[in-house]
Structure 1
């Protein structure tokens, strides 16, 4: 039977079951409907009218404060490609089912907005009845809702695929959803959602350093920031460079070595360096020695963590800590040297690793590495949905 015909027949059967169960309140008549769906119908019916035309709005939805914001924006290219090429609307909701962010082509986005499948729309079971987002959150696992499985009749023209997104400690942070019209239902949609969620969870695991809440921590990969017990400490770029170099040289540097690493042959007076070190020392509450410079206070560094993990051949750990190039805006000779060391060592470890997931995690940070994309393409099984993302990026690189 052609796929479209099978979908049409399934939709017709679900509509008949919905009519009996929901419209005529005849429990037990919905033979084709999953019991989890009918149980959701039963819970939601006292609060949600099946005739509702759109989701209620929440004025307090705060995408800016969501822990999902950074990993989702880092995945925008993949989400954009799927939404535009396959005719889906991508959405991210918080743990309460309120949508925080959506993306889709103009036609699908307008269609979604008619039912308030947009930022601020409330899609919990108590707000909008049975839908994929509410099922995924209520059962803490991926869920699909096709056509008349939705309690609200205005959603019978849709099919939605959702999966919860977890923090590294297992806490549910929200849900990722891909939605489209019922006739575009596809068996690869749910594996695609699972893959995207895995990528988001990997990025969430990369974000924090494995540190106790108290203590100093330096983030110098992808950006520069010193934290004191999680609170930012204001430092100028030069002071961040000095601190980064000292964490990478645990035995310390002489004033001459540090000056050479920062300025090379530039004519900079020694008092300039001393002033920068003095400011850093005050920020660390005396944590830098005075003559031969080294740290006398423990400062955990993501760059040091990557190098230590690579030395121990723990590629997964190294990738978890790696968030980008070492102080990418710095032109200091010592920083440039360490930047190349870290990049070459990580790339070599990833290319030699037998785990394809290592390669894909690396490519999420280095989307322009042609050789790595070619290797990923050779390793991925033809049925793996991630292969399409690699192929698309490879095509862009070759046509650039």
Structure 2
């Protein structure tokens, strides 16, 4: 290290007063276009330059408009970061609490989804709007570990006057991005923040390690879903002639027959059942599987495949299921009472239902959209291949049949959903009822 370089180790070797004074001198000179006593760290210098280009006011407040509670809950329930919160908390919250800091987890837009740690620091954090629902991207809050880690796509520690906005100069923070191992998409950031006096250069390494541990857990969860898909696909592939492959929703291969295995297929964003052309395989016939797709290579021109048949079986008192069948075979998914209610409503409305309409159908309260979205998100984890959304509905290429109990009052007997109560009162007939799609 030369005298012209400034890094975290050098800052740590100085007493707090000298380190703060040096950082303020570096910042003031750099932003004034003058030569600083030592050069700022490259990641900080690059961020400051972005802030100047944006015209961000260093005297601005860090207060932002918080997410509404229902939107915050929706983001929490739909991000896979929620699946690794226990790992993040176990790795950081105790240490953060003991060292007078807090742990913060944001989404890929820099919105704070969770925070945990020292109660006193939590109160101080609320004073700078470092709280659930707040925005901490660089565009809203200037150079800070969360926003700069999102912008740079790398772990970042920001200390004292390295923050662009003056009101953050009494803070220190270290953040690392968390990526989805399935497609390397940026999920969000995990951060440890606290008063500048709690600064330690090793905090960044700790936060980065815990972020990598969370990614490893997500990778292990993905492998387990691939194994489950393989167990369903294997017997189907045994009956399929020619070349075929079972892939998950991200294109990762679970099982293959009649062709050399590939790790992953590139799937278009609008991937759906039916005949689809894939660059790697050519024209293919695609059928839904629980948690994925069966992709059969078309060896010669042929008539379009018969649409999948979906049977929603509500004929039993306490056990409900949804079965999907196509030319290659069939599979069945057991349903919880709530999921049976939601799918029954969708079967009654081929044109689809909005979240507000489903909330009224199931809860009698149009405002419970957060709960509906969360439940539909859980349903679509296994049934996305036969369900569409915006609005929620069964996909157009499937034929839906509802098998009801013999007596109308035995239809989902424990349900209090208005839609179900109405069907009972109307005397919904027994047997098998087809719901055709246009």
User: TM-score, normalized by length of structure 2?
Assistant: 0.48
Secondary structure, in 3 states, of the residue corresponding to 1:54? coil
Residue of 205, 213, 227 corresponding to 2:219: 205
CA distance in 1, matches of 2:105, 2:132: 9
User: Which of 52, 59, 66 does residue 51 from structure 1 map onto?
Assistant: 59
Aligned to 2:36, which of 8, 29, 34? 29
1:211-259 deviation line (CA, Å, top 9, x unaligned): 4247xx9xxxxxxxxx95339xxxxxxxxxxxxxxxxxxxxxxxxxxxx
Greater RCO structure (CA 8 Å; 6+ sep): 1
Specify the alignment match of 1:14 in structure 2: 23
Where does residue 180 of structure 1 map in the other structure? 194
Cα drift, residue 54 of structure 1: 1.9
Q: 1:17, 1:2 → 2: CA distance?
A: 12
Partners of 2:192 and 2:332 in 1: CA distance: 42
By how many angstroms is 1:56 displaced? 1.6
Whether the 8 Å contact between 2:171 and 2:193 is mirrored in structure 1 is yes
Aligned-pair CA distance for 1:198: 1.6
1:40 aligns with 2:47: yes
Q: For the Cα contact (< 8 Å) 1:4–1:183, is it kept in 2? A: no
Superposition misfits of 4+ residues, deviation over 4 angstroms: 1-5, 282-287, 296-300
Matches within 5 A, 1:1-400: 5-22=14-31, 25-29=32-36, 31-45=38-52, 46-59=54-67, 60-61=71-72, 62-168=75-181, 169-208=183-222, 209-210=225-226, 211=229, 212-213=247-248, 229-230=290-291, 283-284=322-323
More deviation, 74-83/87-96: 74-83
Long gaps (5+) in structure 1 = 218-226, 232-274, 288-295, 301-400
Q: What is the aligned partner in structure 2 of residue 336 from structure 1? A: none
Deviations 1:336-361 (A, max 9, x none): xxxxxxxxxxxxxxxxxxxxxxxxxx
Quick one: distance in 1 between partners of 2:199 and 2:18?
A: 13
Q: What is the distance in 2 between the residues matched to 1:14 and 1:286?
A: 66
Q: What is the distance in 2 between the residues matched to 1:228 and 1:79?
A: 38
Alpha-carbon distance in 2 for matches of 1:50, 1:2: 22
Q: Structure 1 pair 14/286, CA: closer, same or farther in 2 (3 Å)?
A: closer
User: Residue 87 and residue 5 in structure 1: after superposition, are their counterparts in 2 closer, same or farther (change >3 A)?
Assistant: same
8 Å Cα contact 1:135-1:143 kept in structure 2? yes
Q: How much is the aligned-residue C-alpha RMSD, in angstroms?
A: 3.4
Q: Distance in 2 between matches of 1:77 and 1:189?
A: 15
CA distance in structure 2 between the partners assigned to 1:165 and 1:204 by the alignment: 10
**Following the alignment from structure 1 to structure 2, what is the Cα–Cα distance between the partners of residues 139 and 108?**
27
Equivalent residue pairs, number? 235
CA distance in 1, matches of 2:45, 2:97: 33
TM-score by length of 1: 0.52
Superposition deviation, residue 18 in structure 1: 1.9
- Give the aligned partner of residue 385 of structure 1: none
Q: Once the two structures are superposed, what CA deviation does each residue of 1:9-63 show, in whole Å capped at 9, x if it has no partner?
A: 22211112222333xx335436341133122112213442111232423425422
Structure 2 residues not aligned, in runs of 5+: 1-9, 230-246, 255-287, 293-314, 334-438
Q: Distance in 2 between matches of 1:73 and 1:299?
A: 31
- Secondary structure, counterpart of 1:100 in structure 2: strand
- Equivalents in 2 of 1:188, 1:63: separation in Å? 29
The 1-side partners of 2:323 and 2:332 are apart by 9
Distance in 1 (CA, whole Å) between partners of 2:38 and 2:22 is 9
